[in-house]
Amino acid sequence: MHRIFRPFLIGGLLFLSACSQLLYYPDSHMYYNPEQAELTYEDLEFQTSDGVSLHAWYFPAKGQSKSFIAHFHGNAQNLSSHFIHLAWIPEEGHDYFIFDYRGYGQSDSVRPTPKGTSYDGVAALEKAYSLYLESGAEKFVVYGQSLGGIVAMKALEKFEHRDQVDLIVLDSTFSSYRKVARRVMGSNFITWPLQPLSFVLFSDRYAPREFLDQTDIAALVIHSKKDPVVPFSLGRDLYGDLKAERKWFWQLDRREHGAVFYDYDLRYRAKFLELLEEI
């Protein structure tokens, strides 16, 4: 091998050696406090089956709850930034639950991996389901955003009350760690030539194959044609792979990732509330 290319190859292999870290960008900074927005909420803590302590916030609905929404957030920061995405929903009569994976926010500082977050997802569903039963809400909804989508789908494979889930929302997400890894590698000039190795160095062992093949949960897929983080093609493929009889695909035309409910355009908030009534 010509010596001029050797540093690039070594750098690429070092980059790939911590491959799971390509998927996770946690921190423990407090971005926004719900009290500043005068939102009523509860601080919660619960345990996973492998003994990890996770942190969550629960926002009760205003008045009688119409539905309970469990939010699996994306790969960066922590729940104190991600909760804003659905912070408006309790005012509309819906309970809202959001949690942090291991390594994020106030959850235990354990390195997140696809295996670990699969445990986190199941524990979060169990905690959310118990709160849902206590709340008296009519419907149980799972909302997976970006990385949270694949975590939520995998967790639902092991969730004992999957038949009680009325809707899963898959927002700007994907169903294959390998495909996303290839996308990340392709965006870096050092690792671009090594993209084919993504299928060797990344595993889809914790990808939701069973969920895609067998789910009968109504599903809403949301993806922007100009998504700069997760390519639109992955959202389109996900929608096609879902075997659910009832499914919807909202195709946005924005150069943004996971921004369907931004307050400069409230059309999709109204559309989402209509869907929650319909299911």
- Say what the pLDDT of residue 178 is: 82
Element (H, E) at 80: helix 79-82
pLDDT at 158 over 90: yes
What does 1-38 look like in DSSP terms, one character per residue?
Answer: --TTTHHHHHHHHHHHHTGGGGT-EE-------GGGGT
According to DSSP H, which parts of 166-278 are helical? 177-186, 198-201, 209-214, 232-241, 267-278
pLDDT at 137 over 70: yes
pLDDT at 192 over 70: no
- Say what the pLDDT of residue 14 is: 38
Is the whole-model pTM more than 0.85? yes
Confidence band (pLDDT; 50, 70, 90) for 10?
very low
Q: How far apart are the first and last CA of the chain?
A: 60
Q: Measured between alpha carbons, how far is 19 from 65 in angstroms, rounded to an integer?
A: 42
Spell out the domains of the chain, with CATH numbers in brackets.
6-278 (3.40.50.1820)
Confidence band (pLDDT; 50, 70, 90) for 185?
low
Mean pLDDT of 17-23: 56
Specify whether the CB–CB gap between 103 and 109 falls below 8 A.
yes
